[in-house]
Amino acid sequence: MRVSARGLHQWPQEEPEDAFQIQRFQQWVNGLSDEGRLKHPFYSLVLPVRSGFSARMAYYFAIGDYEQADLQLIDAMIRPGDRVMECGAGAGVTGSFAGMRSQQPVVIVEPNPAMYDQIRNTFAANGQTLELIEAAVVADAYQAEHIELGIYDEYWWSSALTPAKADRRLTVPARSLSSLLGDHEPTVLVLDIEGGECGLFPAELPACLRMILIEIHTPDIGELPTVELVNLIQSQGFRLCRLLAQTWLFLRT
């Protein structure tokens, strides 16, 4: 991999070669008149790409570095028959892979309308089915029916954490994590919501949940909120089993 400077307290930094390759991918994306498809180098996954798609995301998918830790843990830990709910779907890659490993439809919770067609296309391209919930996941204490989402030009970074810093803002529906868990009763929760995990978890998680795979954005939320979140999950009968980059995997004891 060309990506360097990994660790819990910083995001990977691009090297000059990465920037050069992203420019090449930008030319390819801009030249698409129909759908193109990229094959993942390590897993049986494809990513459908149309003009306007993020060249950066396409590049990292093509070299196997897009959501690398999540895919590795999904491959190792999700079992046939698992009911997976993913909050924060990106391009639908990790959700599609979770569907492959669980052999079940996946519940997707995603607030960014710009991603809905891409998510559906990615699931279809990989032969998977989904239920798409068009909302942001929020803490139980959040009482409003809508929340402001910060939208970035690199739309996979979009977040409700600090919307004022984003390229633009959008008001989207909000659903509490407890209501989603109660309605769908997943056995596996996959969570990647760009810092929105801070303060999200309820005091009691449902007994149906056996595994939590969560990307904790320590560079964005800080060390102490990370510690508090990990302690809260562990206090509810889960133990930390795996940690790859910023992705933490907890299993119920």
State pLDDT tens for residues 132-158: 999 999 999 999 999 999 888 876 677
Q: How confident is the model at residue 9 (pLDDT cuts 50, 70, 90)?
A: low
Residue in 161, 197, 194 with CA at minimum distance from that of residue 177: 197
Q: How confident is the model at residue 168 (pLDDT cuts 50, 70, 90)?
A: confident
Phi-psi region of 127 (alpha: psi -120 to 50; beta: other; left: phi over 0): left
Average pLDDT over residues 186-204: 94
Q: Is pLDDT of 7 > 70?
A: no
Q: Does residue 56 contact residue 79 with C-beta atoms inside 8 Å?
A: no
- Residue-wise pLDDT for 52-104, tens only, equals 999 999 999 999 999 999 999 999 999 999 999 999 999 999 999 999 999 99
Structure-model confidence comparison of residues 15 and 13, the more confident one:
15
Average pLDDT over residues 236-248: 96
Q: For residue 3, what pLDDT is reported?
A: 41
Q: Is pLDDT of 5 > 60?
A: no
Sequence-ordered alpha helix ranges (H) in the chain:
16-30, 55-62, 68-77, 93-102, 116-125, 177-184, 218-221, 223-235
Q: Is pLDDT of 174 > 80?
A: yes
Residues paired with 39 in a beta bridge: 46
Q: For residue 11, what pLDDT is reported?
A: 63
Q: For residue 160, what pLDDT is reported?
A: 76
Residues paired with 106 in a beta bridge: 130
CB burial class (10 A; 0-12, 13-18, 19+) of residue 58? buried
Q: For residue 205, what pLDDT is reported?
A: 96
- Residue-wise pLDDT for 39-52, tens only, equals 999 999 999 999 99
Q: Give the chain's domains with CATH numbers.
A: 13-66 (no CATH), 67-252 (3.40.50.150)
Q: For residue 165, what pLDDT is reported?
A: 80
Average pLDDT over residues 235-244: 97
Q: What is the mean pLDDT of the chain?
A: 92
Residues paired with 240 in a beta bridge: 250
CA distance 239 to 253: 6
HSE, side-chain direction, 13 A CA sphere, residue 32: 19
Handedness of CA 40, 41, 42, 43 (dihedral sign): positive
Q: How confident is the model at residue 4 (pLDDT cuts 50, 70, 90)?
A: very low
